Every structure is written in structure tokens, then in C-alpha cells.
């Protein structure tokens, strides 16, 4: 019950009690007046009767005179009581008017209270619905958080596998490069080993391609979860108009920030994977271009010499000395490597790896 309505009802109750008290006082005074009037009538009858018994020349008896004085006093008392009664009736009329006014006000306040009570009931219902909606959204967020955690675990496992296979691949590449630099691979046996490496390299590259595809699938899943979380954030913003839900919304925001940090970490990890992928892809691209040239061992060795010299590059005469083959053959090899886009030659005749 509202404070205004309670005060109005208390005022009505107090006014009704005051009105009843005045009415009791009025009734008591009226009863006293009626009683005094009856006494006066009896005394007047006695005076009249005694007056009739005496002659005009006779003096009125003392008791008659005393009765007249008593009657005068009682009449004055009756007049005073009548005035008091009239005053009390006027005061009671004012109180009654005030009581009627308070009752009208109380009716308005009761109507307003009923309207407010209905509004409060409606708001409580809406609040319960919003809280249920928030609980549902919170459950969805927990589910997404669990899925993101599982995806991150899976991504860590994929990254570990990728690093292991990348290291194995790099080790094999280093081993092969060392073998090519230390031996001239002029015999059929060495050529066979080069072919075997090409086969092994192809297998490793296929494993690498599959790993890259797994990472792409993982990125797609993370992006979908990210979009779901963004949708939930938008829905939660629609609930912030309810003051009672402010703490819940703040908690949800904190949870969302934590999830965004997890997703940002996933994005950073994916970015690192992209960078590593670019490096490995460059290596793979180089060996793809060299794969068809591996049977020509001297040609492949020429490429490795150009790559290892680096810097400003190597000239044809130095390359001829390193390979121990005729200049015409060296020029032929250089032209072949240019055709497949692995090397370039500047105007001074210096040959470098094409980046």
C-alpha cells in the first residue's frame, strides 16, 4: 500500500473518531438540556400553583422566589448549552465535510493504488520473462564458450602436429640439401636417391596440404562461433533498459570480454599459422618447380650454388668453375632456371635467386 493512501485512510479514521466523539458530546448535552427543561416545567407549574393560592397583595413565599431564581439560572444554563450544542454541531458539520473530502480523496488514491499495483504486477511479469531470457542467453554463451575451448584444444593439437611435421619436413629438406652439396650425384644410384627424395617430398607436401585444410576448417568454425557471440551481445544490449538487470548485464559483458580475449588469442594463433604457412608454401613452391629438374643433377646443383652464394649474385665463370662443366652447358642450365622463374640475371651478368 502506498504511503499517501495509508495516510489518507489514517486521517479518515481519526476524523471519524473525532466526529463520533463530538456527536456523543452533543447527545449528552441535549439530554441534559431536555432534563433541565423538564425540571423547569415542573418548577414553573409549582410557581404557578403557589401563585394562584396567594392573593395579589400577599408577598410570594421565599421558596417560590428561590424557584424563580433557580429557573433563571437553569434557563441561562440551557441557553449556554444550546449555544455549545450549536457550536459543536457546526464543528461536527465541518468535520463531516472534511471526512467526505477525505473519503473522495481516498477513493482516488485507491484507484491510483490499484492502477499502480496492476502496473507493478505487469513489470514483475516482464522482469521475470527478461530474467528467463538472460538465463537462456547465458546458457548459450556457456555452450559457445565450451565449444570455443574445445576448438582451441583442437587447434593446439593441430598446431603441434603441424610444427612437428614442419620440423620433419625442414629436417628432410636440410638433409637433402646437405647431401646435394656434399656429393655430385653423377651415378645412377645418386639420381635414384634424388627421385626417392622427390617422392618423399611429395608425400610430405600432401600431408602439409591436408594440415592446411584442417586449419582452414578450424578457422571457419571459430568465425561461426565469433558471429554467434556477436549476435548474443546484440541481444543482450536490448535488455539493458531494465534497471533490475544491470548487474546481470554487467556480468554478461565481463563474460563476453573474456570470450573475446580467447577468440582474439585464437585469431593471433591463426595469424601465426598463416605466416608459417606462407613460409612453408614458398619452400614447397620452390621444390615444386625443382621437382621436374631433379633428374638433371648438375642443373639442380647450379641452383643450390646460386642460392647459397646469395648477396649480389654469382657470375657465369665462377659457376663454371664450381660445377666443372663447359661454359655452354652452364649457360644452358642458367637459361633453364630462368625459364621456370627460379633465378634472374642483371645487366652486369650477376645471377641471383628470384624472390
Pick the CATH number of 296-355 from 1.10.10.10, 3.40.50.300, 3.40.50.1820, 2.60.40.10: 1.10.10.10
CA distance 291 to 300: 9
CA gap 285, 300 in Å, rounded: 15
pTM above 0.85, yes or no: no
Q: Kindly tell me the sign of the dihedral angle through the C-alpha atoms of 178, 179, 182, 184.
A: negative
| E strand residue ranges, the chain | 343-345, 351-353
Give tens-digit pLDDT for 264-300. 655 565 565 556 555 555 555 555 555 455 445 677 7
For the stretch 302-325, pLDDT in tens is 888 888 777 788 888 888 888 888
Q: List beta partners, residue 314.
A: 351
CA distance linking residue 355 with residue 286, whole number of Å: 10
Average pLDDT, the chain: 69
Q: For residues 38 and 71, what is the distance between their CA atoms, to the nearest angstrom?
A: 11
3-state secondary structure of 344: strand
Using one digit for the tens of pLDDT, what is the confidence trace for 104-162? Answer: 776 776 677 667 667 777 777 877 787 787 788 778 778 777 877 777 777 777 777 77
For the chain, domain boundaries: 3-125, 129-294, 296-355
Confidence of residue 187 (pLDDT cuts 50, 70, 90): very low
Amino acid at each position: 500500500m502506498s504511503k499517501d493512501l495509508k495516510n489518507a485512510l489514517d486521517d479518515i479514521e481519526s476524523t471519524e473518531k473525532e466526529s463520533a466523539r463530538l456527536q456523543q458530546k452533543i447527545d449528552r448535552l441535549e439530554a441534559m438540556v431536555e432534563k433541565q427543561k423538564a425540571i423547569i416545567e415542573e418548577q414553573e407549574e409549582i410557581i404557578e400553583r403557589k401563585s394562584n393560592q396567594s392573593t395579589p397583595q400577599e408577598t410570594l413565599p421565599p421558596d417560590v422566589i428561590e424557584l424563580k431564581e433557580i429557573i433563571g439560572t437553569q434557563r441561562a444554563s440551557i441557553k449556554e448549552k444550546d449555544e455549545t450544542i450549536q457550536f459543536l454541531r457546526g464543528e461536527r458539520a465541518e468535520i463531516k465535510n472534511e471526512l467526505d473530502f477525505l473519503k473522495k480523496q481516498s477513493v482516488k488514491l485507491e484507484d491510483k493504488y490499484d492502477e499502480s499495483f496492476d502496473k507493478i504486477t505487469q513489470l514483475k511479469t516482464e522482469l521475470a520473462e527478461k530474467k528467463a531470457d538472460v538465463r537462456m542467453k547465458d546458457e548459450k554463451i556457456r555452450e559457445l564458450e565450451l565449444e570455443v575451448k574445445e576448438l582451441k584444444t583442437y587447434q593446439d593439437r593441430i598446431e603441434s602436429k603441424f610444427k612437428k611435421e614442419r620440423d620433419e619436413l625442414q629436417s628432410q629438406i636440410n638433409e637433402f640439401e646437405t647431401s646435394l652439396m656434399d656429393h655430385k650425384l653423377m651415378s645412377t644410384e645418386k639420381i635414384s636417391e634424388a627421385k626417392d627424395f622427390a617422392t618423399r617430398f611429395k608425400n610430405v607436401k600432401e600431408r602439409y596440404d591436408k594440415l592446411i585444410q584442417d586449419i582452414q576448417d578450424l578457422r571457419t568454425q571459430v568465425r561461426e562461433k565469433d558471429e554467434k557471440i556477436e549476435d548474443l551481445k546484440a541481444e543482450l544490449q536490448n535488455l539493458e533498459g531494465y534497471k533490475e538487470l544491470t548487474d546481470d548485464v554487467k556480468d554478461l559483458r565481463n563474460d563476453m570480454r573474456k570470450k573475446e580475449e580467447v577468440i582474439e588469442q585464437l585469431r593471433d594463433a591463426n595469424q601465426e599459422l598463416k605466416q608459417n604457412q606462407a613460409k612453408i608454401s614458398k619452400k614447397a613452391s620452390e621444390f615444386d618447380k625443382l621437382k621436374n629438374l631433379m633428374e638433371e643433377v648438375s642443373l639442380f646443383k647450379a641452383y643450390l650454388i646460386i642460392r647459397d652464394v646469395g648477396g649480389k649474385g654469382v657470375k657465369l665463370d665462377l659457376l663454371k668453375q664450381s660445377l666443372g662443366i663447359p661454359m655452354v652447358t652452364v649457360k644452358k642450365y642458367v637459361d633453364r632456371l630462368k625459364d621456370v622463374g627460379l633465378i634472374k640475371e642483371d645487366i652486369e651478368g650477376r645471377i641471383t635467386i628470384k624472390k
